[in-house]
């Protein structure tokens, strides 16, 4: 690679790395109540803001800027949680490990992990900075996916983990390829002609949207969902395969990234169980701080739950908006915040609906409830997704990049038969 081509990346990448470095070192080397933590949080926010202001220009010729921008703000929320909200500390980790492993002979090999050495602190500092789900710590999320739902204690052997993970990676990357399409393909050209980046896509009945346009929206939404899921599972599995194969981590330290989509018979279960929970701790802790400490809302109040949902999805929207901006989507047309705020409203609607009609819902058979739930979730996503996806699609097409296929999975097969 030409060193000159890397030059624009140098400063933004350094800023991105410093966000994690400052967070990890501060958490590992300072007491949980140290005033230095608040100063470190301010530094992290400043670094992230500077990174965001540079990323669109520095990464103009690559799509890496989008994910980096999104993860930068995820890391900011992570830093705020660890530094000043949850007050994560190395001492608390050592104490937790001592209670968990301290009295058992089988765990004698872990005795060194209880020694508070500088080297171990430094290693732990960078591990915890990227451990968003707090796996194997006192702060581990409650809904951590397991390898086998019928036997939650099951952990595969290293070889089996690597083999299964490799299969997941291959399938995921194949799905990404099958659900994206080259912009020069005539079918893509026709699909793009049906798309609009206006927010009126949320009210197709007001503008006389044709059946063909609705079909195109549905098809690219399906492709988008498959690509998102496959990308998350594929990249996570790839990292797991490499690190577990090298012995850096054990399989137990790399649980599945998400639960099965069969769990998604409501929007609440889709986002709270079936989808990845990487952002759960970061969003919930910050939402609870605003609810309980700033607004003084009782933790037992239903309003606290509603505010948590609104905050979590709104912040998710802004995080993904940062990704859109780094991709080159204009701020005026990005629909990320719209999409995620609609998810919040959908979740709140479910809560109110279940409260009002609980007695009637209980009389319906569980199987029929699930079927109706799947239909509800599918229809809601097919309606809400275009407001976010359309501007991305138009931007990708303009830049000559592969976009979501209007003929998911079978598009390449059909094209091969035609040619």
Structure confidence by residue, pLDDT tens digits, 358-395: 888 888 899 999 999 999 999 999 999 999 999 999 99
Count other C-beta atoms under 10 Å from residue 210's C-beta.
Answer: 11
List of residues 6+ apart from 46 with CB closer than 8 A: none
Task: Looking at 248-399, list the stretches that DSSP marks H as alpha helix, in order from N- to C-terminal side.
Answer: 267-269, 280-288, 302-327, 336-356, 358-362, 366-384, 386-398
- Could you read off the pLDDT of 115-144 as tens digits, one per residue? 457 888 888 998 999 999 999 999 998 888
Q: How confident is the model at residue 23, as a pLDDT?
A: 95
CA 145 to chain centre: 15
How confident is the model at residue 325, as a pLDDT?
Answer: 78
Helix, strand counts (H, E) of the chain: 16, 2
Determine the pLDDT at residue 34: 93
CB atoms within 10 A of CB 67: 14
| DSSP states along 73-106 | HHHHHHHHIIIIIS---HHHHHHHHHHHHTT-GG
pLDDT at 129: 92
Tell me the three state secondary structure of residue 60: coil
The DSSP bridge partners found for residue 403 are 181
Answer with the residue of higher pLDDT: 300 or 416: 300
Q: CA-based angle 133:134:139, to the nearest 5?
A: 120
Q: At what angle do helices 302-327 and 65-80 cross, to 10 degrees?
A: 150
| DSSP one-letter string for 213-260 | HHHHHHHHHHHHHHHHHHHHHHHHHHHHHHHHHTTSS-GGGS--SS--
Task: Indicate the pTM of the whole model.
Answer: 0.84
Report the C-alpha gap between 373 and 353 in whole angstroms. Answer: 13
Grade residue 412 by pLDDT with cuts at 50, 70 and 90: low
Percentage of the chain exceeding pLDDT 70? 89
Residue 111 pLDDT class (50, 70, 90 cuts): very low
pLDDT value of position 284: 87
* CA nearest to 82, candidates 26, 135, 120, 136: 26
Q: Name the range with the highest mean pLDDT among 128-142, 200-214, 325-339.
A: 128-142
Which tens digit of pLDDT belongs to each residue from 82-93? 999 999 999 999
Structural contact between residues 239 and 346, judged by C-beta atoms closer than 8 angstroms: no
3-state secondary structure of 180: strand
> Given this model, what pLDDT does residue 135 score?
92
pLDDT score for 105: 42
Parse the chain into domains and list their residue ranges.
1-140, 146-419
Rounded mean pLDDT of the chain? Answer: 87
Q: pLDDT band for position 60 (50/70/90)?
A: low
234-287 pLDDT, tens digit each: 999 999 999 999 998 999 999 999 999 999 999 999 999 999 888 888 888 888
């Amino acid at each position: 690679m030409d060193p000159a081509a890397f030059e624009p990346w140098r400063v933004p990448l350094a800023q991105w790395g410093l966000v994690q470095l400052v967070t990890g070192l501060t958490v590992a080397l300072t007491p949980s109540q140290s005033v230095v933590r608040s100063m470190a949080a301010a530094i992290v926010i400043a670094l992230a803001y500077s990174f965001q202001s540079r990323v669109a220009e520095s990464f103009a010729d690559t799509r890496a800027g989008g994910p980096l921008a999104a993860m930068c703000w995820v890391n900011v929320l992570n830093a705020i949680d660890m530094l000043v909200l949850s007050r994560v500390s190395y001492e608390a980790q050592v104490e937790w490990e001592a209670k968990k492993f301290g009295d058992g002979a089988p765990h004698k090999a872990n005795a060194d992990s209880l020694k508070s050495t500088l080297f171990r602190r430094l290693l732990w500092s960078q591990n915890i900075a990227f451990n968003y789900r707090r796996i194997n710590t006192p702060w581990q999320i409650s809904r951590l996916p397991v390898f086998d739902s019928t036997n939650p204690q099951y952990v595969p052997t290293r070889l089996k983990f690597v083999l299964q993970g490799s299969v997941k990676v291959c399938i995921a990357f194949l799905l990404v390829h099958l659900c994206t399409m080259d912009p020069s393909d005539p079918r893509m050209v026709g699909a793009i002609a049906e798309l609009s980046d206006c927010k009126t896509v949320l009210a197709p009945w007001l503008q006389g949207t044709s059946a063909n346009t609705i079909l195109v929206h549905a098809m690219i939404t399906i492709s988008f969902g498959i690509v998102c899921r496959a990308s998350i599972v594929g990249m996570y599995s790839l990292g797991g395969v490499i690190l577990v194969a090298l012995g850096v981590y054990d399989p137990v330290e790399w649980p599945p990234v998400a639960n099965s989509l069969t769990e998604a018979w409501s929007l609440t279960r889709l986002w709270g169980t079936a989808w990845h929970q990487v952002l759960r701790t970061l969003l919930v802790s910050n939402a609870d701080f605003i609810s309980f400490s700033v607004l003084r809302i009782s933790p037992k109040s239903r309003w606290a739950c509603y505010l948590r949902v609104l905050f979590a999805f709104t912040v998710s929207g802004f995080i993904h908006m940062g990704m859109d901006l780094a991709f080159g989507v204009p701020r005026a047309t990005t629909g990320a915040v719209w999409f995620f705020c609609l998810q919040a409203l959908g979740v709140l609607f479910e809560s109110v609906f279940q409260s009002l009609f609980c007695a009637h819902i209980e009389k319906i058979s569980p199987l029929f409830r699930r079927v109706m739930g799947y239909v509800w979730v599918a229809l809601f996503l097919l309606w809400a997704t275009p407001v976010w996806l359309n501007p991305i699609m138009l931007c990708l097409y303009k830049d000559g990049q592969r976009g979501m296929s209007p003929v998911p999975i079978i598009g390449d097969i059909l094209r091969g038969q035609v040619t």
